[in-house]
Amino acid sequence: MSLYPPARRALRRAREIGVAVAPAPRYCAAMPKPVPLAWCNLAHDRVRFALFAAGVGFAVVLMGVQYGIMNAMLDSNTVVIERLDCDLVLVNPNRASLLMRGGVSQRRAEQARAAPGVKAAVPVYLEYQAAGLRHTARDSRDRTQTRRIRVVGVDPESGILKLPDVRAEAWARLRTPGTALYDRRSRPHPDRPGETVFGKLEPGARTELAGRDITLVAGFDLGFDFGTDGTLVVSDRTFEKWVREPLYPLNPLAEADLIALRVAPGSAREVQADLRERLGTADVLVLTRDELVSREKRFWWTNTPIGFAFGAGVVLGFVVGMVICYQILASDVADHLPEYATLKAVGYTNRYLSWVVLQEALILAAAGFVPGILFTLGTYAALGALTGLPMVLTPARFALVLALTFVMCAASGLLAVRKVKKVDPADVF
């Protein structure tokens, strides 16, 4: 709801556009105020106007929700990266997505640590495939099947993972092997409200990670994706013993999945360039955190149908909105054909009439956008609660939906304008 004021401002501005703007101001110098023809035409029939706005709003909802789901899908894969408190990240170039395998040698971490400007190099361990979590409650009814879970292993003292509601003592307790932090926003249980698919997760609960007992220490809020149903955060020691040793018995932590680097403030770009030179590009990629986020999103965008499916949804919403908006404007023009012809006959230019239609389009856009975006935000909240997907409308995304709405209306306005241009002023006699 924090986005409401900008939306209101946008509406007000659009109204101002509709009310106060008229072309050919040189003719209006001495006029009290120009007639807001576009606004009057729309506001004349309030019921019709409300229906029109609803039509445009529907398109806004269609676009907004599709776009939101698409973003949520993409965001869900990068939530872990975005929680890293670091400037640069070393990652294996062959690892197209975090979901895959491929690590960075610990030697690289040593080398990076030795480079000028690097304040810390912290290995981060990730496991998507091998780890499963199972609730081992005493009451057999509370036990659950093993489900895949995302496991993040970090040095509890490094503070590399930003989990705001996890207190220092919880991090300290994590140093004990066999303890873990759990995600309160793991996939909810379909039948038991308040429980996750892993059963009832709470501090002190005893569960089984990758077949070995583990005790939950504290919870945090993250969210799941469609690869896994939740996330556990463990210490690097626990990660080694529980997750990696069964697979790599000889040297379980020879490679880290990511190496997070902290650098002196403001020097990320320089250090990045310097590290690329020092480390080469053969087995390690030096990226800023944001670059890693977009790399990850790009992978999901190009290698899965998410982008296409929901992008198509957005396009569909756009097209539907354009058709609705065009229908509205074209019928409005058709209804007023003799009047437009009269205006032409008394000396109004095509430019003015086009501008009137365009103004109507922009007013419709504003009038449809406000309720549309509010409804979209409501839908986001509902979907987020239902699916655990991170449905977020960032200012940039808000701006995009707003821009799409105005482009949609303006484009259909321009289509409708052609009708006005064809009006023959001789018809009025």
Partner 1 sequence: MSSNLPPPGAPVLRVRGVNHHFGTGDTRTQVLFDNTLEVMPGELVIMSGPSGSGKTTILTLVGGLRTLQDGEIEVWDSERGDYRAVRGADEAELVNVRRLIGFIFQRHNLFDSLTAMQNVRMAQQLKPSADDPDADARELLSYLLLGDRDISGKPQKPRFDYKPAALSGGQRQRVAIARALANRPKLVLADEPTAALDANSGLAVVTLLQQLARERSDAELGALVRSAEEAGENGRLADWQLPLLKRAAREHGTTSLIVTHDARIMNLADRIVHMERGRIESNVVVAERLFVREGLRQSPAFAAILPEEQEKIADAVLIGVHPNDAARPDQLAARPGRVEVYEKGDAIIREGDPVGPDSKFYLVRRGTLEVFRTVDGAQKKLDELGPGRYFGEVALLLNQPRNATVRAATRAEVYAVNRATFDRYRDVSRPFIDRMLANFRAFEGA
Q: How far apart are CA 289 and CA 90, in angstroms?
A: 9
Note whether 8 and 398 are within 8 A (CB): no
DSSP letter for 287, please: E
343 binds partner 1 (CB under 8 A): yes
| Packing angle, helices 4-20 and 350-387, rounded to 10 | 170
Convert 233-245 into a string of H (helix), E (strand) and C (coil): EEEHHHHHHHHHC
Separation between Cα atoms, residue 262 and residue 268, nearest integer Å: 9
- Residue numbers 97-136 binding partner 1 by CB under 8 A: none
Stretch that binds partner 1, among 77-85, 161-169, 338-346, 378-386 (CB under 8 A): 338-346
Contacting range for partner 1; rule: CB under 8 A; set: 212-220, 293-301, 336-344, 373-381: 336-344
Secondary structure element (H or E) that encloses residue 306, with its range? helix 306-335
Instruction: Region of 234 please: left (phi>0), alpha (psi -120 to 50) or beta.
Output: beta
Q: Which span (55-63, 115-123, 260-268, 337-345) binds partner 1, by CB under 8 A?
A: 337-345
**Helix, strand, coil % (nearest 5) of the chain?**
55, 15, 30
Left if phi > 0, otherwise alpha if psi is -120 to 50, otherwise beta: which for 12? alpha
Q: Which is nearer to partner 1, 34 or 313 (CB)?
A: 34
Q: Which is nearer to partner 1, 280 or 338 (CB)?
A: 338
The b/e string for 59-70 (b: 16+ C-beta within 10 A; e otherwise) is: bbbbbbbbbbbb
Q: Nearest distance from residue 365's CB to partner 1, in Å? A: 19
Nearest-angstrom CA–CA distance, 195 and 182 = 13
> CB-wise, 37 or 293, nearer to partner 1?
37
**Span from 217-225, 240-248, 319-327, 332-340 in contact with partner 1 (CB under 8 A):** 332-340
Strand partners, 133: 147, 209
Min separation Cβ 81 and partner 1, Å:
55
Are residues 26 and 285 in contact, defined by beta-carbon separation less than 8 angstroms?
no
- Our CB check for partner 1 shows the closer of 10 and 38 to be 38
Closest approach, Cβ 77 to partner 1, in A, equals: 52
Q: Is 334 in the site for partner 1 (CB under 8 A)?
A: no
Measured from the CB atom, is 97 or 342 closer to partner 1? 342
Q: How far is the CB of 406 from partner 1 (least distance, A)?
A: 23
Of residues 301 and 348, the one with the C-beta less far from partner 1: 348
**Of residues 31 and 309, the one with the C-beta less far from partner 1:** 31
237 Cβ contact list (under 8 Å, min separation 6): 175, 177
Binders of partner 1 in range 26-45 (CB under 8 A) = 26-32, 34-35, 37, 40-41, 43-44
Residue type, 213: D
Nearer to partner 1, 226 or 348 (CB): 348
Provide the mask over 41-70, with x wherever binding to partner 1 is found by CB under 8 A and - wherever it is not.
x-xx--------------------------
Query: What single string gives the DSSP state of each residue in 137-189?
Result: -SSGGG----EE-EEEEE-TTT--B--TT--HHHHHHTTSTTEEEEETTSPBP
Stretch that binds partner 1, among 24-32, 304-312, 369-377, 378-386 (CB under 8 A): 24-32
Q: Which stretch binds partner 1 (CB under 8 A): 92-100, 149-157, 383-391, 418-426?
A: 418-426
Among 338, 382, 386, 394, binds partner 1 (CB under 8 A): 338
Which residue of 106, 267, 342, 379 would you call a contact of partner 1, by CB under 8 A?
342
| Positions in 4-23 near partner 1 (CB under 8 A) | 22
Q: How far is the CB of 363 from partner 1 (least distance, A)?
A: 13
Among the listed residues 145, 302, 349, 394, the single contact to partner 1 using CB under 8 A: 349
Contact in structure between 197 and 189 (CB atoms under 8 Å): yes
The smaller minimum CB distance to partner 1, of residues 13 and 44, is found at 44
With CB under 8 A as the rule, give the number of residues binding partner 1: 33
Side chain identity at residue 15, one-letter code? R
Q: Is 222 helix (H, G, I), strand (E, B) or coil?
A: coil
Residue 70 or 343 with smaller CB distance to partner 1: 343
Whichever of 165 and 424 has its CB closer to partner 1, that residue is 424
CA distance 220 to 171: 12
Task: Pull the structure tokens for residue 219.
Answer: 């919870």
The answer to whether the beta carbons of residues 90 and 120 sit under 8 Å apart is no
Binding interface with partner 1 (CB under 8 A): 22, 26-32, 34-35, 37, 40-41, 43-44, 336, 338-339, 341-350, 424-426, 428-429
